[in-house]
Amino acid sequence: MLKKIIILSAILSIFITFTGRGKDVFGETSGDNYKLYCAQCHGLKGNGSGINKADMSVAPRNHTDTIEMSRLKDSDLYDAIAHGGVSVGKSALMPPWQGVMTDAEIREMVAYLRELCHCKGE
Amino acid sequence: MKIVKTFLLITLFSLWLTAPHISMAADGKMVIEQNRCAGCHEMNGGKAGTIAEVLSKKAPDLFYAGSKFQEKFLTEFLQRPVRIRPAGTIFLNYTVPGTEIDQIQEPPLCASRLSREDAVAAAQHLMTLKDPDMPTGIYKPGAEFAKASAKMLFFKSGACNACHQVDMGGGDIKGGVSAPTLYDAGDRLNGDWVLSYIKDPQHWDPKAWMPKRELPDSTWQLLTNFLMTMKKSEEMRKAEK
């Protein structure tokens, strides 16, 4: 009986440790970050149709456009996300997210954009 | 003995002077409890630290209402709520994918419809809920500032209107809808809070979908001055009635 309790306690401790630390260790998923930070302009599906699009002077990029997205290097995507559109010669409507997402999250976001466009960079 | 008597009289007089304020604040707390404001608003300082927690929010946090708002605005809003966030408190909860543009599904409006007396009391209580660490007295109402530079900052380099609606003149409302309206920021918000929020949105909302930028203090001051000039136009006020 005592053996069973000890084993159960050990399993429970491991479970609590990992679920409790999970958010800190692994952060948010890139899909969730995309929805929270990017979808307001780039759309829930990533097709450039976000709710803020209507009054924008420059349309948000369609991340599902394979041809257009293929022309961009991963480093361009990283810079645009981290430092804003101006850093890659594009619109200031794209703000810098460096102070909000971690470096790892931005790199994961670049990979997520490649999933959305089903493409690789130049 | 005479000194003790005088001291007691002064103490009693002070208590009499402050009593109405104490009772009003207590009433306001009761009004808020009776109207179950905490059912939608976070009143006790629990900031949403994960996206899942953000999505579970029904209404804006009120545990720092006294730092954020102007009392006059709260008193009016509590009697007749108006929409401040065009796509709801959390836009993701009311948005569905669209072909040309994603669609906002009718977000609920604050259910508060208090009597004037209750609204006054509730607003007074809400104004006591403050973040003691927020620097105050930094925003100087009515101070002169370079409006042209502020406009450049707001519309061009900062592109704040990408997510916030503003009045382009005569009630012509333009701008993004994922964030709170700004055409009435100067009627609604406390200047010191505005400065603090735009400088570090994630201090107030760890998962705020607003970028954080490193800019000189003078730039934040300039932007705050500009935001605080934004007031609801007569046309808009008439339309609301």
DSSP annotation of B96:
E
Please state which of the four CATH numbers 1.10.760.10, 3.40.640.10, 3.90.320.10, 2.30.40.10 is assigned to the domain occupying A28-117: 1.10.760.10
Alpha carbon distance B222, B158 (integer Å): 12
Decide if A44 and B97 are in contact by the 8 Å CB cutoff: yes
> For residues B16 and B162, which has the higher predicted lDDT (pLDDT)?
B162
CA-based nearest residue in chain B for residue A43: B102
CATH 1.10.760 fits B1-129, yes or no: yes
The pLDDT value given to residue A2? 62
Contacts of B209 (CB under 8 A, 6+ apart): A36, A37, A40, B91, B163, B178, B179
Answer whether residue B54 shows pLDDT above 60. Answer: yes
Determine contact, residues B75/B55, Cβ cutoff 8 Å: no
Answer whether residue B21 shows pLDDT above 50. Answer: no
The pLDDT value given to residue B222? 96
Question: Where in chain A are the domains?
Answer: 28-117
Determine contact, residues A42/A119, Cβ cutoff 8 Å: no
Answer whether residue B12 shows pLDDT above 60. Answer: no
Alpha carbon distance A78, A82 (integer Å): 6
A41: distance to nearest CA of chain B, Å?
Answer: 8
Decide if B207 and A97 are in contact by the 8 Å CB cutoff: no
Question: Where in chain B are the domains?
Answer: 1-129, 134-241
Residues in A lying within 8 Å of B, measured between beta carbons: 23, 28, 32-33, 35-37, 39-41, 43-45, 49-56, 84, 86, 91-93, 95-97, 99-100
The pLDDT value given to residue B237? 79
Among A24, A26, A52, the strongest candidate for a mutation testing the B interface, having the largest count of B CBs within 10 A, is A52
List of chain B residues whose C-beta atoms are within 8 Å of the C-beta of residue A45: 97
Q: What is the pLDDT along chain A (122 residues), one digit of tens a residue?
A: 667 665 655 554 444 444 433 343 446 999 999 999 999 999 999 999 999 999 999 999 999 999 999 999 999 999 999 999 999 999 999 999 999 999 999 999 999 999 999 999 87
pLDDT in tens, B180-236: 999 999 999 999 999 999 999 999 999 999 999 999 999 999 999 999 999 998 877
Q: Where in B125-196 does DSSP place strands (E)?
A: 165-167, 173-175
Collapse the DSSP code of B175 into the 3-class scheme (helix H, G, I; strand E, B; otherwise coil) and give the result. Answer: strand
Task: Find the angle CA(B202)-CA(B189)-CA(B92) to the nearest 5 degrees.
Answer: 50
Alpha carbon distance B113, A29 (integer Å): 40
Alpha carbon distance A60, B157 (integer Å): 16
List of chain A residues whose C-beta atoms are within 8 Å of the C-beta of residue B176: 40-41, 51-52, 55-56
Confidence class of residue B13 from pLDDT cuts 50, 70 and 90? low
A8: distance to nearest CA of chain B, Å?
Answer: 29
A2: distance to nearest CA of chain B, Å?
Answer: 38
Confidence class of residue B167 from pLDDT cuts 50, 70 and 90? very high
Decide if B202 and A99 are in contact by the 8 Å CB cutoff: yes
Please state which of the four CATH numbers 3.30.530.20, 1.10.760.10, 3.40.50.2300, 3.30.70.20 is assigned to the domain occupying B134-241: 1.10.760.10
The chain-wide mean pLDDT, for chain B, equals: 91
Q: Say yes or no: do domains B1-129 and B134-241 share a fold.
A: yes
Among A36, A86, A91, A97, the strongest candidate for a mutation testing the B interface, having the largest count of B CBs within 10 A, is A36
Structure tokens at B194: 């505005």
